Amino acid sequence: MTPFIYTSRPARIRFGAGSLQFVAEEMDALGCRRALLLSTPDQQDDAQRLAHQLGERCAGLFSRAVMHTPVEVTEQALACFEQYQADCVIALGGGSTTGLGKAIAWRNNTPQIVIPTTYAGSEVTPVLGQTSNGIKHTLSDPSVLPEVVIYDPELTFSLPVSVSITSGLNAMAHAIEGLYARDRNPVTSLIAVEGIRALHQSLPVIARDPADSQARSQALYGAWLCGTVLGSVGMALHHKLCHTLGGSFNLPHAQTHAVMLPHTLAWNQHVAARELQPLAAFFGDDLACGVFYFAGKLGAPQSLQALGIGKDDLDQAADIAVSNPYWNPRPIEQTAIRALLQRAWSGHSPA
Ligand code: NAD
């Protein structure tokens, strides 16, 4: 067996339908008494219900979390944290809300309880992306990792089908890149395949019936596993391209992952054939085409053009992606990446 290093990330995971009821218990276990509750404006009603449930344990609600964690918003939330004399944060929502909680914790080391309602997986990674003056910077620091994660699949029933599908594909992308990561190991590969299996099984059911409780549980379980892979090993070309398209061209996070995944798989699948082999059971031997058809059948967006980036921006996107690349199993170069982006822009099959 090839020697390897596996570092597990400490976190307490509480999983199960109805587990939102345990938030107060988890606060008590952390020794916290006054939480600043975080949400996006869209999820303010859910956050208010949780605030009511927590009673005196909720010091206040900040419901202005937005995508890409702008520093100005973090500063406003920090001011509330201090004004309310909070001693922990509770983030109820997707990656945007989790990001805000992490940004606060990175500044004041406060304990975090995260209650994820999408499949982004940020809650189990030590990674924080923050935007200032329109530029997104990413850091990795153990202090950013949330102490407690409460997965309650009932909170995902309201996640629209289209967002559920793209968010699920975003999760799968973490695990797929984890399978061929330079620092992969047998444990992260095991977790990655199980995460993809759970999402491959559950997303088609959710597309038909978003209130199917078994499928919602499976999908959230899969998202946790895929997020765990993201938090454990390095990501490659796919994440680099998505970070470029999101950070420099403001494309939506999960949708961008959904569009790009078949194309980045087409680039890497032959050099990483052995590592990706377990996925043939789900998507067939041509993984790139298999994922393309799987995503298309579920109604995911399939072209960058549909996400709003102009053809004229592709040269610059390719330049940025190759200028400071992440390690990738197959070397990359500008002309080939520009061609890959062109195919993704047009929405053509990756074959
Ligand atoms: P999001 O958190 O922005 O959520 C998208 C929208 O869906 C929001 O309006 C939100 O309020 C709404 N929503 C979320 N859950 C819902 C539910 N159950 N019912 C109804 N509406 C719901 O999107 P996301 O894709 O989860 O997160 C994207 C952000 O997370 C990006 O900024 C990305 O960079 C970051 N991210 C970070 C990491 C990391 O490890 N640091 C990992 C993944 C994503």
Tokens coding 318: 């390719």
User: Is residue 7 included in any domain, yes or no?
Assistant: no
Helix (H) or strand (E) holding 213: helix 213-230
CA of residue 198 to ligand 1 center, whole Å: 20
Distance, in Å, from the CA atom of 42 to the CA atom of 61, rounded to the nearest integer, reads 13
Write out the residue range of the structural domain in which residue 167 sits. Answer: 161-346
| Ligand 1 pocket residue status of 163, Cβ below 6 Å | yes
* Amino acid occupying residue 278: P
- Planar angle of CA 270, 276, 282, nearest 5 degrees: 115
- Planar angle of CA 41, 226, 295, nearest 5 degrees: 80
pTM over 0.90: yes
Among 156, 179, 194, residue at a domain's last position: 156
Percent helix, percent strand, percent coil in the chain, to nearest 5: 60, 10, 30
> Total domain count for the chain?
2
User: Is residue 4 included in any domain, yes or no?
Assistant: no
Which protein residue's CA is at the shortest distance from atom 2 of ligand 1? Answer: 94
User: Is residue 3 included in any domain, yes or no?
Assistant: no
pLDDT value at position 136? 77
Question: Are 223 and 327 in a shared domain?
Answer: yes
Q: What are phi and psi of 246, to 5 degrees?
A: -75, -50
Question: Are 134 and 173 in a shared domain?
Answer: no
Distance, in Å, from the CA atom of 166 to the CA atom of 350, rounded to the nearest integer, reads 18
Question: Are 134 and 178 in a shared domain?
Answer: no
User: Is residue 284 included in any domain, yes or no?
Assistant: yes
User: Is residue 2 included in any domain, yes or no?
Assistant: no
Question: Are 168 and 199 in a shared domain?
Answer: yes
Contacts of 133 (CB under 8 A, 6+ apart): none
| Ligand 1 pocket residue status of 329, Cβ below 6 Å | no
Which protein residue's CA is at the shortest distance from atom 32 of ligand 1? Answer: 68
Low-confidence ranges of the chain (pLDDT < 50): none
Which protein residue's CA is at the shortest distance from atom 24 of ligand 1? Answer: 95
Helix (H) or strand (E) holding 14: strand 12-15
**CATH number reported for the structural domain that contains residue 193 in this entry:** 1.20.1090.10
Among 118, 135, 156, residue at a domain's last position: 156
User: Is residue 99 included in any domain, yes or no?
Assistant: yes
User: Is residue 341 included in any domain, yes or no?
Assistant: yes
Distance, in Å, from the CA atom of 147 to the CA atom of 150, rounded to the nearest integer, reads 10
pLDDT value at position 133? 83
Helix (H) or strand (E) holding 62: strand 58-62
Kindly give the number of the ligand 1 atom that is closest to the alpha carbon of 66. 3
pLDDT value at position 326? 92
Specify the 3-state DSSP secondary structure of 91: strand
Question: Are 245 and 198 in a shared domain?
Answer: yes
| Ligand 1 pocket residue status of 93, Cβ below 6 Å | yes
Kindly give the number of the ligand 1 atom that is closest to the alpha carbon of 96. 2
pLDDT value at position 279? 98
CB 219 within 8 A of CB 272: no
CA of residue 225 to ligand 1 center, whole Å: 17
Question: Are 258 and 304 in a shared domain?
Answer: yes
**CATH number reported for the structural domain that contains residue 144 in this entry:** 3.40.50.1970
CA of residue 4 to ligand 1 center, whole Å: 32
User: Is residue 256 included in any domain, yes or no?
Assistant: yes
Half-sphere exposure of 12 (CA within 13 A, CB side): 12
pLDDT tens sequence across 302-314: 999 999 999 999 9
Report DSSP state, residue 94: S
Question: Are 236 and 298 in a shared domain?
Answer: yes
Among 140, 156, 172, residue at a domain's last position: 156
Question: Are 320 and 241 in a shared domain?
Answer: yes
Contacts of 74 (CB under 8 A, 6+ apart): 100, 103, 104, 107, 130
Question: Are 103 and 142 in a shared domain?
Answer: yes
Question: Are 317 and 174 in a shared domain?
Answer: yes
| Ligand 1 pocket residue status of 110, Cβ below 6 Å | no
Is ipTM over 0.95? Answer: yes
Question: Are 179 and 73 in a shared domain?
Answer: no
| Ligand 1 pocket residue status of 20, Cβ below 6 Å | no
What are the E-state strand segments in 100-185?
112-116, 127-132, 135-140, 148-151
pLDDT value at position 247? 84
| Ligand 1 pocket residue status of 120, Cβ below 6 Å | yes
Specify the 3-state DSSP secondary structure of 46: helix
Question: Are 143 and 234 in a shared domain?
Answer: no
Tokens coding 249: 């061209």
